[in-house]
Structure 1
Amino acid sequence: MDEDISRKRKVQRYEEFVDKRLKPDLVKAIAERDKVFHKQKMFLDLKKNIENLENNGITNLRSMVNLGSEVYMQAEVPDTRHIFVDIGLGFHVEFTWSEALQFISVREARLARQIEEYTQLIANIKAQIKMVCEGIRELLQIRAE
């Protein structure tokens, strides 16, 4: 009887560990990886836009700009050969097209490494969850016998 109670307590502790620690860690890691995917997409879009400007020789441009809250205004860019790129922490740096493409390529490599690290972390957390669930299953089978 004491063995039964001991097994129930172990199962409860394992379930709490999965629910209160591992699952929230997994959700957080997936959310962080999604943020990196979003940044990667933004840099890919910027790269395509710069290449499009370069390939078509577009040095000035008219565009609609979102001011926030879905309020737009028309803007004119008299010289597209110099652009400002968000480099993080609220800082923007003026680049030429080639400098921006070089920066983007370095940044893309870093983002790819971050995605790989988060993917590995996610796989590790999933493996831990699976291992703990297997331990719970084994404890429950012993009790059933």
Structure 2
Amino acid sequence: SHTTSKKESLDSNPSSGLTHNSNQLLKVLDHRDKVYEQLAKYLQLRNVIERLQEANPSELYMQVDLGCNFFVDTVVPDTSRIYVALGYGFFLELTLAEALKFIDRKSNLLTELSDSLTKDSMNIKAHIHMLLEGLRELQGLQNFPETPHY
């Protein structure tokens, strides 16, 4: 009866369960990679802000990418405030201190999300492992004839 429950837990086509889980795993890992990329951008911004606070320049000369690697020279007349991308095309003007607080909060949320996605990926991997073990067990049982039910 223990084997029957395992057999019932696998669908009529066990490979579809593996395919579904493999696809889910790829989606979760891809999402986690995107979260890591966002986190890296915020940490990079934090470093820039900290360097700005240390240097405390009255104005800043820099190059801005207008897109497609087309750069223009520009002057930032006031380095005490910065525009931070909130997402969905929204930007907020913040002081450097406010921006650092925002980055810390956002980084913590992204870290929690990446941890959660890592746990999800581990659960999916465990489920795939269980399916593979069930398939191996079923293949072993298929070598023997079923006992007739009278």
Same fold (TM over 0.5): yes
What TM-score comes out, normalization by structure 2 length? Answer: 0.85
- Alpha-carbon offset, residue 59 of structure 1: 3.1
1:63 is paired with a residue whose SS is strand
What is aligned with 1:110?
109
Any gaps of 5 or more consecutive residues in structure 1?
1-6
- Alpha-carbon offset, residue 93 of structure 1: 0.3
Larger radius of gyration, structure 1 or 2?
2
Deviation above 6 Å: which 4+ runs of structure 1? none
Aligned residues, how many? 136
What is aligned with 1:4?
none
| Alignment deviations for residues 25-71 of structure 1 (CA, whole Å, 9 cap, x no partner) | 11110111111101100110000000001011223111111111111
Query: What is the percent sequence identity of the aligned residues?
Result: 32
Taking the aligned partners of 1:104 and 1:113, their CA distance within structure 2 comes to 14
What is aligned with 1:135?
134
Any gaps of 5 or more consecutive residues in structure 2?
1-6, 145-150
- 8 Å CA contact retained: 2:11, 2:17: no
Taking the aligned partners of 1:117 and 1:59, their CA distance within structure 2 comes to 42
- Alpha-carbon offset, residue 89 of structure 1: 1.8
Taking the aligned partners of 1:12 and 1:71, their CA distance within structure 2 comes to 56
CA RMSD in angstroms, aligned pairs only: 1.5
The structure with the largest helix share of the pair is: 1
The answer to whether structure 1 residue 46 and structure 2 residue 55 are counterparts is no
| Alignment deviations for residues 65-110 of structure 1 (CA, whole Å, 9 cap, x no partner) | 1111111111111111110001122110000000000111111111
- 8 Å CA contact retained: 2:82, 2:93: yes
Taking the aligned partners of 2:141 and 2:13, their CA distance within structure 1 comes to 17
What TM-score comes out, normalization by structure 1 length? Answer: 0.88
What is aligned with 1:18?
18
Taking the aligned partners of 2:110 and 2:22, their CA distance within structure 1 comes to 24
